[in-house]
Structure 1
């Protein structure tokens, strides 16, 4: 029998390794930025075209490479950081696996230009699909420039799995944020399709957060500091009132390396217990410094997951540090049994004797006497007034005030029948039916646990999920308004100004036209804020910020996928935000109206996200339950 096991060719092995290291353009950005940091650069520039599908270029002013190093950097398992296995547990650098450049070169066109400070000229290497096309001498500034073009050009299947440019760009910006937040002592710049998106100068950690997420972020941050033998914690957490429905602004850094840890995230959530609204998540930007020997960062190809020797201790320290900061800055409620400072005696009156005020009353005073004698004994005295007295003035001819009232009152009693008096009551909504008898005839609904609406049909019973049903109704209404561009808008008495990050403002600019077709009116769009003067009729002013945040999140995560239109995505997102929630009580006429509107929809059976809105149960099925 012939041998069937054989060694893979190098270019195939590189492409398989690329599948682990390079999932999307953002993976290339991460590897190249980390290499630039390890090269000792002080400024790093990232240039993107077509969300990285056409070009990803990273330029740094680091120490550069020699001719030999430049050539060896594209070989598999070539690294400058590891000499033996023990070095894996003493890592203080970023890229160490020795597979990144080799994997990238296997699936793209790569051009490397590098020069060391002491050299007169640099080196230029062009590689296409693991094959070195050229290696020449070139004039280039000190540092390294790596250009990655036409990603996945030789693996069309992998390229087809990439999302739209908006989604891929969001992943790139996320990686850029992670690296920039971990190294606030370096300058970073990001250029997308020729325009500058971020320009981050060298700054402290708080300024770097503000430069990335907007100036409004500064007032949301609460500092966290803790230094122990096991763990050193520094950074910031967001105030509970600014918690978001998404997990976008949650960053853990261990030894200046971004990580994901559901276990440590639970520690933060536990510290915020009782302070956050249901369904919201706190923001945090925390740096953890631990001994490199106590962690293993080589368990995942992207190095975003880490194993800790003693996770329970880290959990307890992190939770207590965050709770301490929230209490120290009066964010969390605390039990204080001491006297309230506002109730203390003023400084000027401390040690002085205070006499109680006395009140004297003339019990013989009668206002209905013809002549009223001056009051001598009635006085209101206080320690400060020295007992100054008040005298009642005579009220002559006071009877004239009541002249004619008797006749008027008699007339009023004869003309008024109090059995017909109508009392003012709360305003009631107009009935959608013609008369009350119609309501009694049609009213066959019942609300179950403030979640489901039960209604009778000829064959049995109908059970409707009120939240999902309302989603379908609102979705078709919004989609119709966007399509015919005739939405009704209600003007706000005072303009509403909402603050967003630079990236979120760019998304709102793209959606501005469609939002205006639904009824929003934007008076001004600034770099970090939008001013709204009108909202759709069905949208309360307090819900506007929640709707826009949810919409931005849906667009960033592309819910649904790229083959849907922006109008469809907008209608879905707004319907999800504005639909009546589970637990909301509905009146009988509101239940009836919801049922009628649902079955007037084109597709009443499912929500915009294809979840069923109602179920039916026939009489036969009910009869079987009693057998």
Structure 2
């Protein structure tokens, strides 16, 4: 039988290095965070061979006193916490006191530092006594030959370019979190980033690109103890990977499933397919409300009130993205690939959309309500076919009414879209402010698919089916929002679940009831479902509830039911929207444009595709080489 014995300090540090020092980027992260905690106002990073050969970080922070240099290289030695209360309210980037000891165990590490008020600097290397050195105030940490004494670990490192890419991403995280600090990154003698202290928007533009900032909206939300700020990209700037997603909690970059889920749900209605949004978001809350001591690399966190945090982030981002660019189309001067570019300085929607043109004579789009179905008193009906027929009827009524308004009050307008009139064209009705509406006025129809309109900025092209689909979808959601209608099951559904699902069902009883589910235990590992939301009555109950419970286990504020409901509503809206080759009159087209201006998320259809684009006069002039 093997004997129990103490591990040597070197082996303990090397084991810790396996958790903390995964690659050169991990070393850079720990040293940069120490520099930030030291109050540095300028940090300079030099890398060689992707950081494998050398990582040198110099800062102008408070420095380390001569008598504390040796302690800095020991495990569990730190100046950042002293009591349990400090640990529960961590306000610094580092606090474990393991990083430098772990790094020194697998690389040649030297520290040169000069504390405030000291006559000169001191330098120390692992296993040696401090020696006098020359340095202005601050600290220089020099790490060379990573894994020189553990060659097996070194074999797992990737190519120089790959390791540098990881270091560059780590540098970006710190630079985004602290725009008030000047930073510089050089690789193999070549300066890659030189970032002076700057406002947050300027730092984001420097690292993410002006293109991101032009296609992003500024997020600002405050709920007392919670505050969210930053930038979230419009769907036009979506990407194939998650490489442009940065989320910070109290200045610390994190990869948190709860926060990622909240943002993803905020984009659920407007992002196409498997695309991913880009964002730089900063969440601030009381340090006591978040536990950062749950991961060796401090990359994950745990929230005390996870449901409240999830819902706050979800609604803040969703509300920001809900503003439609259609409501301010004429203000968009920069060309966008699919017509929904918006700068970060865009003002929030006022909540009122001026009415003008032909739509002033038209009522809002008629959507069947509970009064149309006295038997069920709920909308939409559980029968999906009945719902589709109702939507198609509503769509026809909408355009029939528009046509009626044209016949009664617009006799001087052309009978067919695009028809050229003889004589002067009547001036369209202006808005209450005396200005033309953002999407302008319709000129005609192209191949029965697109609407051509003129606004103050130039030419607007609208996909009429996609735009009408979004309008119907948003109106449907408005009609059924609130406490969902409940459908009791004639034969309750009984099915087996695991222990975790049973626990989730018991803990989430109130949440489930609020969604319209009546669920109870039928045995040690069985659940019985007696009622479900009426809108989802035709869905497979066992599959839906299992998915719901899995979401509840991972995310206290699940959106599964809302997502399922919205999928059905999106299908109904798609079937009810005006089809291609439907000839619309000018009043009908103008009515559609006005509704787009008044509809949230009108820039994309229910599948995330764009609904309109803007061609400015400057773009048209360049194309036809006017003035050249």
Task: Report TM bin, short chain.
Answer: 0.5 to 0.7
2:302 pairs, out of 290, 302, 307, with: 307
Query: Counterpart in 1 of 2:316?
Result: 321
Alpha-carbon distance change, 383 to 263 in structure 1, aligned in 2, over 3 angstroms:
closer
1:262 pairs, out of 257, 261, 268, with: 257
Query: Counterpart in 2 of 1:90?
Result: 89
Query: Is the CA contact (8 Å cut-off) linking 2:76 and 2:96 kept in structure 1?
Result: yes
Asked whether 1:222 is paired with 2:217, we answer yes
Alignment of 1:583-602 (within 5 A): none
CA-CA distance at 1:145 after TM superposition: 0.3
CA-CA distance at 1:157 after TM superposition: 0.4
Asked whether 1:118 is paired with 2:117, we answer yes
CA-CA distance at 1:311 after TM superposition: 1.3
Query: Counterpart in 2 of 1:37?
Result: 36
1:173 pairs, out of 155, 168, 171, with: 168
1:246 pairs, out of 217, 241, 251, with: 241
Residues 536-559 of structure 1: per-residue CA shift (max 9 Å, x gap): xxxxxxxxxxxxxxxxxxxxxxxx
Secondary structure, in 3 states, of the residue corresponding to 2:130?
A: strand
Alignment of 1:225-374 (within 5 A): 225-328=220-323, 330=325, 340-343=355-358
Structure-1 separation of matches of 2:86 and 2:44:
30
Query: Is the CA contact (8 Å cut-off) linking 1:357 and 1:382 kept in structure 2?
Result: no
Query: Is the CA contact (8 Å cut-off) linking 2:50 and 2:160 kept in structure 1?
Result: yes
Structure-2 separation of matches of 1:343 and 1:201:
53
Residues 179-238 of structure 1: per-residue CA shift (max 9 Å, x gap): 111111111110000000001111111111110122222201201111113411111100
Query: Is the CA contact (8 Å cut-off) linking 2:69 and 2:130 kept in structure 1?
Result: no
CA-CA distance at 1:117 after TM superposition: 3.2
* Bigger CA radius of gyration: 1
Structure-2 separation of matches of 1:52 and 1:191:
11
Higher relative contact order (CA 8 A, sep 6+): 2
* Residue correspondences, number: 350
Query: Counterpart in 1 of 2:155?
Result: 160
Secondary structure, in 3 states, of the residue corresponding to 1:175?
A: helix
Query: Is the CA contact (8 Å cut-off) linking 2:228 and 2:313 kept in structure 1?
Result: yes
Structure-1 separation of matches of 2:18 and 2:352:
61
CA-CA distance at 1:337 after TM superposition: 10
CA-CA distance at 1:383 after TM superposition: 14
Query: Counterpart in 1 of 2:522?
Result: none
**More deviation in 212-221 or 276-285?**
212-221
Residues 102-122 of structure 1: per-residue CA shift (max 9 Å, x gap): 111111111111112312211
Query: Counterpart in 2 of 1:46?
Result: 45
Query: Counterpart in 2 of 1:60?
Result: 59
Query: Is the CA contact (8 Å cut-off) linking 2:88 and 2:288 kept in structure 1?
Result: yes
Residues 134-172 of structure 1: per-residue CA shift (max 9 Å, x gap): 521011111000000000000000000111111111111
Q: CA RMSD in A?
A: 2.9
Provide structure 2 residue ranges, at least 5 long, that are not aligned to the other structure.
Answer: 328-339, 341-348, 361-408, 413-421, 427-628
Query: Is the CA contact (8 Å cut-off) linking 2:231 and 2:279 kept in structure 1?
Result: yes
Alpha-carbon distance change, 163 to 343 in structure 1, aligned in 2, over 3 angstroms:
same
Query: Is the CA contact (8 Å cut-off) linking 2:88 and 2:287 kept in structure 1?
Result: yes
Alpha-carbon distance change, 266 to 141 in structure 1, aligned in 2, over 3 angstroms:
same
Secondary structure, in 3 states, of the residue corresponding to 1:4?
A: coil
Query: Counterpart in 2 of 1:106?
Result: 105
What TM-score comes out, normalization by structure 2 length? Answer: 0.53
Structure-2 separation of matches of 1:87 and 1:265:
28
Structure-2 separation of matches of 1:118 and 1:29:
28
Structure-1 separation of matches of 2:10 and 2:146:
16
Secondary structure, in 3 states, of the residue corresponding to 1:189?
A: strand
Structure-2 separation of matches of 1:223 and 1:179:
20
What TM-score comes out, normalization by structure 1 length? Answer: 0.53
Alpha-carbon distance change, 324 to 136 in structure 1, aligned in 2, over 3 angstroms:
same
Query: Counterpart in 2 of 1:9?
Result: 8
Provide structure 1 residue ranges, at least 5 long, that are not aligned to the other structure.
Answer: 346-354, 359-379, 385-627
Structure-2 separation of matches of 1:112 and 1:213:
33
1:199 pairs, out of 191, 194, 206, with: 194
Alpha-carbon distance change, 319 to 290 in structure 1, aligned in 2, over 3 angstroms:
same
Structure-1 separation of matches of 2:102 and 2:140:
18
CA-CA distance at 1:294 after TM superposition: 1.3
CA-CA distance at 1:342 after TM superposition: 4.0
Structure-1 separation of matches of 2:309 and 2:72:
37
CA-CA distance at 1:73 after TM superposition: 0.4
Structure-1 separation of matches of 2:99 and 2:235:
40
Query: Is the CA contact (8 Å cut-off) linking 2:113 and 2:139 kept in structure 1?
Result: yes
Query: Is the CA contact (8 Å cut-off) linking 1:221 and 1:236 kept in structure 2?
Result: yes
Structure-2 separation of matches of 1:291 and 1:136:
42
Query: Is the CA contact (8 Å cut-off) linking 1:357 and 1:383 kept in structure 2?
Result: no
CA-CA distance at 1:327 after TM superposition: 2.2
Query: Counterpart in 2 of 1:138?
Result: 133
Residues 306-345 of structure 1: per-residue CA shift (max 9 Å, x gap): 01111111111111111111123538999x9977434489
Alpha-carbon distance change, 14 to 241 in structure 1, aligned in 2, over 3 angstroms:
same
Query: Is the CA contact (8 Å cut-off) linking 1:222 and 1:329 kept in structure 2?
Result: no
Structure-2 separation of matches of 1:383 and 1:61:
70
Query: Is the CA contact (8 Å cut-off) linking 2:123 and 2:131 kept in structure 1?
Result: yes
Secondary structure, in 3 states, of the residue corresponding to 2:325?
A: coil
Query: Is the CA contact (8 Å cut-off) linking 2:66 and 2:130 kept in structure 1?
Result: no
Structure-2 separation of matches of 1:78 and 1:383:
82
